[in-house]
Amino acid sequence: MSDVLRLKKSNCRNCYKCIRHCPVKSIRFSANQAHIVGEECILCGQCFVVCPQDAKQIADGTEIVRVMLDGTAPVVASLAPSFAAYFEQSGFASLKRALMQLGFASAEETALGATLVKREYERQIQDKSMDVIISSCCHSVNLLVRKYYPELIKYLSPVVSPMIAHSQDIKRRDSTAKTVFIGPCLSKKDEAENSPVDAVLTFDELSRMFNAAGIVPERKLDSAQESRARLFPTVGGILKTMDIPDTGYTCLTVDGTENCKAALEDIAAGNLHRCFLEMSACSGSCIGGPVMEKYNNSPVRHYQAVTTFAGKRDFAVPTAEAGTLARRFSYIGVPSTMPSEAEIAEILAKTGKTSKADELNCGSCGYETCREKAIAVYHGKADSSMCLPFLMDRTERFSNNILSHTPNGILVVNEDLEVQQVNAAAMKMLHIAHEGDVLGEPLVRVMDPQPFLAALEGRMVKEQRAFYAEYSKYLELSLVHDKTTHIVIAILRDVTNEEEERLKKEVIGRQTVEIADRVVEKQMRIVQEIASLLGETTAETKIALTKLKESINSEETR
């Protein structure tokens, strides 16, 4: 498997959207990054389409093509018929001129190869040698069968795709030519490996090359619509191009990977016989390809553009020599061992799932069921922490334990000052009997809102102490305004005992000073009498005794 899809690690945000949309779960999560498992991927491009962070990238083929254009060999573009949907209002002649301005020797429609392929399909139905025939134009469908339904490989039509058939035809006519397929599909980059196709560009890559060269394709439609093979990229387009012989085969169209999987399951179960299945991994067929869906999605308008461009006759293409369009498909999957029931149960238990009732099967991890996710964990493709309900439950229990056991009161209000959450400690401090009595109610019912208004205005409220007469308590209040979640968190501490102890000390201090005053006054009188006997002046004695009093006051109030 070539490195067609790549991860841009700096962009991945661990949202699991890619695994939710991946039809074969070929994505492994490691270190909070999504990694595409190439051996399991069918290159449907859904992860590329749905990634909100553009963390999935298609391997860029523009540099390879530029080198080819600078070479001496003629380079011929094979333009997929869905170009009519991507380059709206520009006909094939306009795009051919633009491609030749870019340096291509020529350009042809891949529909020429499609004409050769559809003839092979008609022959196979006529031969009646296969019970079920699955069209082999879509490389992603081929990969799906070859990797996940090996018992059905025998039903894949042993014919090359229109891309390869056209490239073979170009090189038959000019053995020196190099070919570049241009279309809406990223899986063609992989299919081109070890084939006559020298390079593959998506329509988006071609647009970028046009822009870099300052080339604007003329908005002019072709006057002639001569080939019905141009219908190939639409739903049922292959069948519409075929002259189906009356041999008893039922001809059906299946588009979208999930629908293809359902049809393959039916075939594997023996429920379908004598039928030709036109399968496309993309919903809406090729005009709903990943490049179209990502950048330029308008399925109804695009369908109209392609069908308007198509005609009712076939291209005048010589019939291919016998065997030149044949292709043999083989199994390329990676067999995996299944964990035992005990191993699955052990993995489930790590996320708190010890019974069937615990398995929510919510799909938030990207897997349809908790059991599927456990199997992915066993294979190293997923991690237990990918379970959102488990993480939420663990976080909630963790925060609830903190809120329940902290001695501090926690009161949470929104920016409209309505109570959103209150813990047991706060309920005790504020005399709240039941949590439901205050949730959603105005804050003013339980506390003075003024400090909260100050916090909303950006002023700091930290360790603000006040006496709350209605609760007969002294409370210390600190507020945090979380602007991201639009809440104000109040942290309350009951400091009643501290304040009462402080007041007691103040009373004792005042009483001590009063006693000291009386003692000093009495001592002053005695000292004055002694001083008069010693001949000292009253003023000197007073100064000395005042200093003594101040010293006593200072000592008592410490």
pLDDT tens profile 138-151: 999 999 999 999 99
The distance from CA 71 to its chain's CA centroid, rounded to whole angstroms, is 41
Confidence of residue 53 (pLDDT cuts 50, 70, 90): confident
- Rg of the chain taking only CA atoms, in angstroms: 41
Q: In 10 A of CB 535, how many CB atoms?
A: 6
- At which residue do the structure tokens 């570049």 appear? 180
Which tens digit of pLDDT belongs to each residue from 81-109?
999 999 988 999 999 999 999 999 999 99
In the numeric block, which tokens belong to residue 224? 């002639």
pLDDT recorded at residue 393: 79
Complete DSSP assignment for 140-175: HHHHHHHHH-GGGGGGB-SB--HHHHHHHHHHHH-T
Angle formed at CA 316 by CA 311 and CA 321, multiple of 5 degrees: 130
Compute φ and ψ for 276, nearest 5 degrees: -110, 120
Q: What is the pLDDT of residues 243-284, one digit of tens each?
A: 998 899 999 999 999 999 999 999 999 999 999 999 999 999
Tell me the average pLDDT across 26-36: 86
Contact between 463 and 408 (Cβ < 8 Å): no
Look up residue 422 and give its DSSP letter.
E
Express each pLDDT in 341-352 by its tens digit. Answer: 999 999 999 898
Asked whether the beta carbons of 134 and 277 are under 8 A apart, the reply is: yes
**Burial group, residue 180, by CB count within 10 angstroms (0-12, 13-18, 19+):** buried
For residue range 355-390, what is the model confidence (pLDDT) as tens digits? 999 888 888 888 989 999 999 999 988 888 888 888
Planar angle of CA 367, 372, 377, nearest 5 degrees? 95
Residue with more model confidence, 8 or 78: 78
The pLDDT assigned to 296 comes to 67
Report the alpha-carbon distance of residue 227 to residue 310 in Å, rounded: 6
Give the number of other Cβ atoms within 10 Å of residue 37's Cβ: 17
The answer to whether 425 and 435 are in contact (CB under 8 A) is: no
Token readout for 470 is 């209605």
Average pLDDT over residues 412-423: 94
Contact by Cβ (8 Å): 163, 110: yes
Amino acid at 72: T
pLDDT, mean of residues 206-229: 89
- Matching residue, tokens 């080339």: 215
195/31: higher pLDDT: 195
pLDDT at 533 over 80: no
Tell me the average pLDDT across 182-208: 95
Report d(CA 425, CA 404) in Å as an integer. 7
Q: What is the pLDDT of residue 530?
A: 74
Q: Above 60 in pLDDT, residue 414?
A: yes
Mean pLDDT of 120-138: 95
Cα separation of 437 and 309, whole Å? 70
| Residue-wise pLDDT tens digits, 485-515 | 999 999 999 999 988 888 888 888 788 778 7
Instruction: Pick the closest to residue 425 from 488, 472, 490, 487 (CA basis).
Output: 490
Q: How many helices (H) and strands (E) are present in the chain, helices listed first?
A: 21, 16
Average pLDDT, the chain: 89
Instruction: Note the pLDDT of residue 540.
Output: 63
